[in-house]
Amino acid sequence: MKPPWHGILKIPDSRFPGISRAVEKTDVSTPHSVERYTHNWHGSFEGFAPTPAALMSKLPREVPGLRNCHMVGQWTTPGGGIPPAGLDGRNLAIKLCRRDKKLFHTGMPE
Ligand SMILES: Cc1cc2nc3c(=O)[nH]c(=O)nc-3n(C[C@H](O)[C@H](O)[C@H](O)COP(=O)(O)OP(=O)(O)OC[C@H]3O[C@@H](n4cnc5c(N)ncnc54)[C@H](O)[C@@H]3O)c2cc1C
């Protein structure tokens, strides 16, 4: 039986005939790999599926009874991926600055 990635190798082969014969090792990431390496729920690599309902939902970022603990990332900002996770962190920094009466400013690392 051919491995599942056999079909994928046809793509570079169509442009560079025979290149697939030079491939010595392949690895495939599945939701199980994501779960194993990152502990993400159900192996979800970008958090919630971006359904209309998920995109409209607002999720809590604090745990009741746990002071100074804030949650940010792909599970608090539906949309998926690094941009919403980064934006979530930025928005939290703005909120904390406002709370502590500090000026929020951004800059490039030296
Ligand atoms: C293969 C792959 C490709 C991707 N490609 C893209 C892409 O091209 N563009 C894009 O925008 N996004 C991409 N993503 C999605 C993006 O990586 C994630 O959405 C983003 O990293 C989520 O950030 P986060 O801070 O919420 O979570 P994470 O980056 O997953 O950070 C969570 C951290 O918590 C740690 N952790 C977990 N459990 C515990 C625990 N019990 N105690 C302590 N620490 C714990 C984990 O080790 C991890 O370091 C990809 C994801 C994968 C898996």
Residue 109 has pLDDT above 90, yes or no: no
Ramachandran bin of 83, using left for φ above 0, alpha for ψ from -120 to 50, beta for the remaining angles: alpha
Helices and strands: H and E segment counts in the chain? 4, 0
Residue-wise pLDDT for 18-32, tens only, equals 988 898 888 888 899
Over range 88-107, report the average pLDDT: 94
CA distance 4 to 43: 19
Stated length of the chain: 110
Give 36's pLDDT tier (boundaries 50, 70, 90).
Answer: very high
Q: How many CB atoms lie within 10 A of CB 81?
A: 13
Ramachandran bin of 79, using left for φ above 0, alpha for ψ from -120 to 50, beta for the remaining angles: left
Q: Which of 29, 45, 70 to mutate to test the pocket of ligand 1 (most atoms within 8 A of CB)?
A: 45
pTM of the model: 0.76
Which residue is closest in CA terms to ligand 1's atom 5? 81
